[in-house]
Amino acid sequence: MHSTGTATPSAPAPAETLAGPAEDPHGEAGRHARRFGLPVATALVMGNIIGGGIFLLPASIAPYGTVSLVAFVVLTVGAVALALVFGRLAARHPRTGGPYVYAREAFGDFAGFLAAWSYWITTWVSNAALAVAAVGYLDVLIPVEGHRWTACLAALFLQWLPALANFAGTRYVGAVQLVSTVLKFVPLLLVAVGGLFFFDPSRLGPFNAGGHSAVGAVSASAALLLFSYLGVESAAVSAGEVEDARRNVGRATVIGTAGAALVYLLGTLSVFGTVPHGRLVTSTAPFSDAVNTMFGGSWGGTAVALAALVSMTGCLNGWTLLSAQTPYAAARDGLFPAAFTRRRRGVPTVGVGVTVVLASLLTCYNYLSGSGRVFEVLVLVTTFTATVPYLLAASAQIFHLVSGRPEAVDRGRLVRDSVVTAVAAAFSVWLMAGAGYAAVYQGALFLFAGVIVYAVMAARRQRGRTPVTEAP
């Protein structure tokens, strides 16, 4: 038994209709759907930020040298600025959909659609990238990387398992997210704090190993590192499922982002200082290698690999929910197909199903195409597609600040909000530029394919509003 909404072509759905659990009059959603409090909302943000990225990216950015640590600091400043912007926007519009809602409220349907479409692409491409990263740690436990088909099947299994948890309802999504977030901190803190006692500066390698200029190396490595911070908007996207969203979304976003940033910086520094640079560049499980270097043998690396798999599965669990939330919000407004409004037990089931199928197809394509750098390719595509809704959200905040409307602007915080928003907007543009020509090209193909979808949906909405008259 589930509740199915219908798109309303003439006006956006009111905030209360996006709450989720209240939509089911028969009570089934109430048993399996539950609103998120501040702890779970914070866990959703931290769990989605600290997922596969931190466990693999130390090896991905190692070819750039320790200059990538500078990129990490710059990226952290930008991520916190984005977190503050999302918090302010969520207080103004506490509805499910996040950047989609903010862009549509400020600039209209087309901007809202672009935000929803690009964010949706980000989520399912990210799921494929996370599954690929998880296979690298699974290989520590069970050898799978040596055979392409085995690795592909393992990645598909890791995608479908969280999807099944989502079909069970938001109650179980929240429980899995909270437990996996706690468990993932064990290996991260072990390396982040313990690794400092085994730190050897001689293992860091050259400062700028890639041959780029310093600015170019920072931009290029930051484009890869952005993947580690995807998820800063998680609480805002799921605002309709958060208790006291006007207050808790902003708090969860800032606390979750700041906590993730601290773990990231210490963890990456420790990995750089414990694993020799030449070995780190080719590593598929850098945190496992770090623990093995610290304590000797292979038991530590095996334990870290197991914890990393739990972490990544939890991250996939949260991203699978987010992947369905934005299309659901857009579908309620008639900008996505109406099928995306179907919910069961608090979860937009069609969105989850379509997303996991698309991510699976992309995973198969990348494994079978013979690409040797699957993870980096997928990460850079999501770098471009993620910056589109980020930039639109920051622009929406600029619009509200410049408009000067009393109901949209807090005069006492005008200067601070303006500086933070300017940093977030500049940060988004910088990351888009740093993604590189290939990533922008591939991401743009995904993005502009959505224009055709928008044309069809806009025509259907127009036809639904216009009465048909017979010609004389």
How does pLDDT run along the chain (472 residues), one tens digit per residue?
A: 333 333 333 333 333 333 333 344 333 444 444 566 777 777 778 777 776 556 667 777 888 877 888 888 888 888 889 888 988 888 888 787 788 889 998 999 999 999 999 988 888 888 888 888 788 778 777 777 667 788 888 888 888 887 877 776 655 566 666 666 667 677 677 777 877 787 878 777 777 776 677 777 787 777 677 667 777 877 777 777 777 777 788 888 888 888 888 888 888 888 888 888 878 887 777 877 887 877 776 666 677 777 778 777 777 877 787 788 888 888 888 888 888 888 876 678 888 889 889 988 888 877 777 655 655 666 677 778 888 999 999 999 999 888 866 555 666 678 888 899 999 998 888 777 766 787 788 888 888 888 998 998 888 888 776 554 444 4
| Helix, strand, coil shares, percent, the chain, to 5 | 75, 0, 20
Sign of torsion over alpha carbons 358, 359, 365, 368? negative
Would you list the DSSP string of 51-104? Answer: SSHHHHHHHHHGGG-THHHHHHHHHHHHHHHHHHHHHHHHHH--STTTHHHHHH
What does pTM read for this prediction?
Answer: 0.74
Residue 235: predicted pLDDT: 77
The neighbour count for residue 55, using CB atoms within 10 Å, is 33
β-sheet bridge partners, residue 36: 242
Q: Which of 80, 78, 45, 74 lies closest to 221 in space, CA to CA?
A: 74
Choose among 88, 32, 118, 51: nearest CA to 330. Answer: 118
Ranges assigned E (strand) in 345-465? 347-348
| pLDDT value, residue 10 | 33
Given strand 342-344, what is the order of strands in its sheet? 3-4, 342-344, 347-348
Residue 436 CA: distances (Å) to CA of 52, 74, 444: 22, 18, 12
Q: 222 and 75 in contact (C-beta within 8 Å)?
A: yes
Beta partners for residue 347, in sequence order:
344
pLDDT at 50 (0 to 100): 74
CB atoms under 10 Å from CB of 413, counted, come to 12
CB atoms within 10 A of CB 258: 14
Q: Are strands 3-4 and 347-348 parallel, antiparallel or unpaired?
A: unpaired
What is the pLDDT, as a whole number, of residue 427?
83
Partners of residue 342 on adjacent β-strands: 4
CA 67 vs CA 77, 198, 273, 289, 430: distances in Å = 16, 21, 14, 21, 17
User: What is d(CA 32, CA 38) in angstroms, rounded to the nearest whole number?
Assistant: 19
DSSP state of 242: B
Q: What residues form DSSP beta bridges with 344?
A: 347
Q: Give, in degrees to the nearest 5, the angle at Cα 176 between 170 and 181.
A: 125
Contact 263, 50 (CB under 8 A): yes
